Amino acid sequence: MSLFASRAASRAASRAASGAAPARRRSRRRSAPAVVLVLSAALIAPGQASAAPVTSPQPAGGAQPGKHAVATGYGGAVATVDLDASRTAIEVLRKGGNAMDAAVAAGATLGVTEPFVAAIGGGGYMTYYDARRRKVYTVDGRETAPRAMREDSFVDPATGKAIPFEEAVTSGLGVGVPGTLAQWDTALRRFGTRDLGTLLQPAIRVAERGFVVDQEFYDQTAVNQARFNDIVPTRELFLPGGAPPAVGSVFRNPDLARTYRELARKGPGWMYGGGLGREVARTVRTPPVDPKATRNVRPGLMEDGDLGAYRSRTPEPTRVSYRGLDVYGMPPSSSGGSTIGEALNILGEFPLDAKDPVAALHHYLEASKLAYADRGRYVGDPDKVDVPLRELLSKGFARERACLIKPDEAAQAPVPPGSPDGDYAPCAPQAGRAGALPYEGPQTTHLVVADKWGNVVAYNVTIEQFGGSGITVPGRGFILNNELTDFTLQPPAPGAAPDPNLPGPGKRPRSSMAPTLVLEDGRPRLAVGTPGGSTIITTVLQILLNRIDLGMDLPAALAAPRATQRNTPQVFAEQEFIDRYGTALAARGHRLELFPGPPRGTIGAATALEFLRPGLVQAVAEPRRRGGGSALVVRPSR
């Protein structure tokens, strides 16, 4: 039976088993036909059986009490890194809110419990499936550079070189105009059913009552202790008594609770053209550094008008077809959708077999290598540079790139970029110069939500580094981002290839965030994403490979050991991946080394969900990475 015939037979069997009951009518925003989805051969290549679950390769530590990595049931589902955030989303769904309402509420709660990766001082990306319209949308809340920023703003005029990276991070200079609140406002006005003030209430309760400090929160505070100690409001909030809060203690953030309450009354305009925005800009221009500190915390360029000028964007998502499925992602300024899409197009040129995982992983690593070369050369903010997105995602370009992959030999990295010019030969030689992998902060967080109407959200929110810039807005309880360090800090040398990711006024820095939705026949099947900086792309890509090509179920696909190839000489990997596949891949020329982190030996912290059959959803979080995540459903299945 063919793949498509197998899918059709599975859908027919599902309809016969469940009956064809018409969906109840709902309000305009929430109404949707019943989601008719089943776990069928669509996610397993012909002739493959579902693989047994794979043991997670995590370091010691394990999941925190109360967290469950997998939940299956009805009425809606959520997976986040944090139990309080997941509970918030479920509370919203149980009270009749939709997936977008729940995602925003969970994001606000993460601003309390995960303040070093998620805050209203940062930004993010959303992909959203609207069940009534049967269409995928995106909301781009990426931070922007102030209007005074130039290509050489990070260059020290005394040396002609970029300032030390650590000085760019812990500075006002690295702070971009926050986009999170504008993104929430746009998302709720277009797709939500609740107002922001209502959705902030669960987060306010958590901020007031506090939450129990776990090892992950302690570790993230401790790694930042030296720089937090030099910023007065950051020290006062996150280093009570001069040290990180102890594991098992209760951490409260009354300043953030007050900020959220005022935001609930005044709305996002308070940030964009209002008093909160003026406080943010003042803090960026004059960071509140302890006079006794010796750290060079540089002032930033942000003015009040930069916040008033900020707008979130709603660009068309990227879309590629892979093994009969439609994969939607985030378009530039993120490179997530374009790079994953190009790599999938390349992989689609090869018949991958679950019986030969080494060959499949070899092709995954080589496809990633090629796609990253093109990412670095061509992807930036499309409002400021010409991004050849259509050609990067074209089948012709993929075939031209795929012909460079040898079945038994890894190409020496870094490889040069291709030429997405619309003129494709059967097998064109590589041209141009190979480039080094630019630095990108490794930390963000990701969540997924589905509701009972079939709407789905995949959402990355971030302040960039663990702890962002380290600069807390005085009295407001949140840290500002350092997203502008995602720009290339040093302009290219004369005669070098142009860099699409140089700083510029109002420009969005390139990101790798990749909230991804997979549809079959116009209906959602999978949603997946992860933190991890430039490893986000490879983590999402490997999870899709595991699920679609290697036949793993979704929990196994997330737990499986990971490797990341980002056009670097080494393949960085988790220890279990090296133990399991290192010898066989080394025989093909791959040089595997332990991923340096942070945290060392751990790549990503993914969340995902899958529709198993009509109305039945499985939410999946990491079982152990970074302390494990939290998956919940409204009504668990028996």
614 prior amide bond cis, ω within 30? no
Could you tell me the two tokens for 95? 């009270």
**DSSP state, residue 383:** T
Radius of gyration of the chain (CA): 23
CA distance 598 to 438: 16
Residue 533 labeled ligand binder? yes
CA distance 355 to 576: 19
CA distance 7 to 38: 9
Cα dihedral sign, 38-44-45-50: negative
Phi, then psi, of 506 in degrees rounded to 5: 70, 10
CA trace torsion 439, 327, 481, 107 (10° rounding): -150
CA distance 280 to 168: 18
CA 461 to chain centre: 7
Q: Which residues contact 368 (CB under 8 A, 6 or more apart)?
A: 343, 537, 538, 541, 564, 565, 566, 567
Residue 486 labeled ligand binder? yes
Residue 419 labeled ligand binder? no
Could you tell me the two tokens for 421? 């010019």
Cα dihedral sign, 50-52-58-62: positive
Phi, then psi, of 454 in degrees rounded to 5: 95, 5
Residue 630 labeled ligand binder? no
Q: Which residues contact 351 (CB under 8 A, 6 or more apart)?
A: none
CA distance 497 to 438: 14
Catalytic-role residue among 444, 488, 538, 607: 444
Q: Which residues contact 47 (CB under 8 A, 6 or more apart)?
A: none
Partnered with residue 511 across adjacent β-strands are 334
Strands (E), 397-529: 443-451, 456-464, 516-520, 523-529
Instruction: Report the first-to-last Cα separation within the chain, whole angstroms.
Output: 32
Could you tell me if 221 and 245 are in contact, meaning their C-beta atoms sit under 8 angstroms apart?
Answer: yes
Q: Which residue has the tokens 């960071």?
A: 287
241: left (phi over 0), alpha (psi -120 to 50) or beta: left
Q: Can 530 be counted among the known catalytic residues?
A: no
- Amino acid identity of residue 123, one-letter, is G
CA distance 501 to 392: 17
Q: Which residue has the tokens 């400021």?
A: 384
Could you tell me the two tokens for 143? 């931070």
* 571-573 and 592-594 strand pairing: parallel
CA 147 to chain centre: 27
Task: List Cα–Cα distances, 296 to 169, 234, 299, in angstroms.
Answer: 11, 16, 9
Could you tell me the two tokens for 553? 């179920």
Binding-site residues from annotation for L-glutamate = 142, 486, 511-512, 533
Which residues are designated catalytic? 444
